């Protein structure tokens, strides 16, 4: 049973770092960590296509749809430490739109896995491109990585930005600019 073995592994780690897994504060820690891991990696058991396809509508709308400043939390696959921040997701439909809440779910499905920020960004963008067949998709993630901050690797307060621009967001500078203006909190004129 996999959860059991996560517990055993955590107990092992506690011993290896010189702790006593039997002491009061740590007795339930392996179980807690196992449950926590189950939650933080639940994206492995969710199908992003199903999330999108369950909420597709045919609609004659061809303006930009932007989901801005969505909180996301993920784990870096190199250190299994959190990286988290804001996701900005936009698309311009061709004939299909998807419920806004599903965009948030989609980000979550990919974020709740071991990730690198670059791949997380492109996975979200590519999935929307494939499933919605829109005129274009834009995804910008800004995140801080605890594996850098806690380990003192990078300057404190540094934020990592990644972006994926597909379709018209790639080919039309004006469209990309409109998106970036919206993301940066400005109004489109
Ligand atoms: Zn890392």
- Per-residue pLDDT of 118-152, as tens digits, reads 999 999 999 999 999 999 999 999 999 999 888 87
Distance between Cα 157 and ligand 1 center (Å): 15
Task: Judge whether 60 and 68 are in contact, CB under 8 Å.
Answer: no
The reported pLDDT for the residue numbered 151 is: 82
Residue 155 reports pLDDT greater than 90? no
The reported pLDDT for the residue numbered 2 is: 55
Task: Judge whether 21 and 15 are in contact, CB under 8 Å.
Answer: yes
Distance between Cα 115 and ligand 1 center (Å): 9
Name the band, by pLDDT with cuts 50, 70 and 90, for residue 98.
Answer: very high
Could you tell me which residues come within 8 angstroms of residue 189 by beta carbon, excluding any fewer than 6 positions away?
A: none
The reported pLDDT for the residue numbered 32 is: 97
Distance between Cα 32 and ligand 1 center (Å): 22
Distance between Cα 82 and ligand 1 center (Å): 8
Residue 142 backbone class (left: φ over 0; alpha: ψ -120 to 50; beta: rest):
beta
The reported pLDDT for the residue numbered 187 is: 61
Residue 162 reports pLDDT greater than 70? yes
Cα atoms in the Cβ-side hemisphere of radius 13 Å centred on 25: 3
What CA–CA distance (Å, rounded) separates 120 from 28?
32
Task: Judge whether 113 and 43 are in contact, CB under 8 Å.
Answer: yes
pTM for this one? 0.92
Q: What is the mean pLDDT of residues 106-115?
A: 98
> Judging by DSSP bridges, how do beta strands 136-145 and 56-58 pair with one another?
unpaired
Give the residue numbers marked as catalytic: 76-79, 117, 145, 147
70's tokens: 């969505």
Distance between Cα 48 and ligand 1 center (Å): 24
Residue 1 reports pLDDT greater than 60? no
Condensed to tens digits (0 to 9), the pLDDT of residues 35-86 reads 999 999 999 999 999 999 988 999 888 999 999 999 999 999 999 999 999 9
The reported pLDDT for the residue numbered 188 is: 55
What CA–CA distance (Å, rounded) separates 110 from 92?
21
The reported pLDDT for the residue numbered 3 is: 55
Distance between Cα 143 and ligand 1 center (Å): 12
The DSSP letter of residue 187 is: P
Q: How many other CB atoms are there within 10 angstroms of residue 61's CB atom?
A: 13
Q: What is the mean pLDDT of residues 93-98?
A: 94
Name the band, by pLDDT with cuts 50, 70 and 90, for residue 154.
Answer: low
């Amino acid at each position: 049973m996999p959860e059991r073995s996560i517990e055993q592994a955590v107990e092992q780690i506690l011993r290896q770092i010189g702790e006593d897994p039997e002491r009061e504060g740590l007795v339930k820690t392996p179980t807690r960590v196992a449950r926590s891991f189950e939650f933080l990696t639940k994206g492995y058991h969710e199908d992003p296509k199903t999330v999108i396809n369950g909420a597709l509508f045919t609609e004659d709308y061809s303006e930009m749809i932007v989901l801005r400043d969505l909180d996301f939390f993920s784990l870096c696959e190199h250190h299994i430490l959190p990286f988290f921040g804001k996701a900005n997701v936009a698309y311009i439909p061709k004939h299909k739109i998807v419920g806004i809440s599903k965009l948030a779910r989609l980000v979550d499905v990919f974020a709740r896995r071991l990730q690198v920020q670059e791949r997380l960004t492109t996975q979200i963008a590519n999935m929307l491109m494939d499933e919605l067949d829109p005129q274009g998709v834009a995804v910008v993630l800004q995140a801080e990585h605890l594996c850098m901050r806690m380990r003192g690797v990078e300057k404190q307060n540094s934020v990592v930005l990644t972006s994926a621009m597909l379709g018209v967001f790639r080919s039309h500078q004006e469209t990309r600019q409109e998106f970036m203006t919206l993301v940066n909190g400005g109004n489109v004129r």
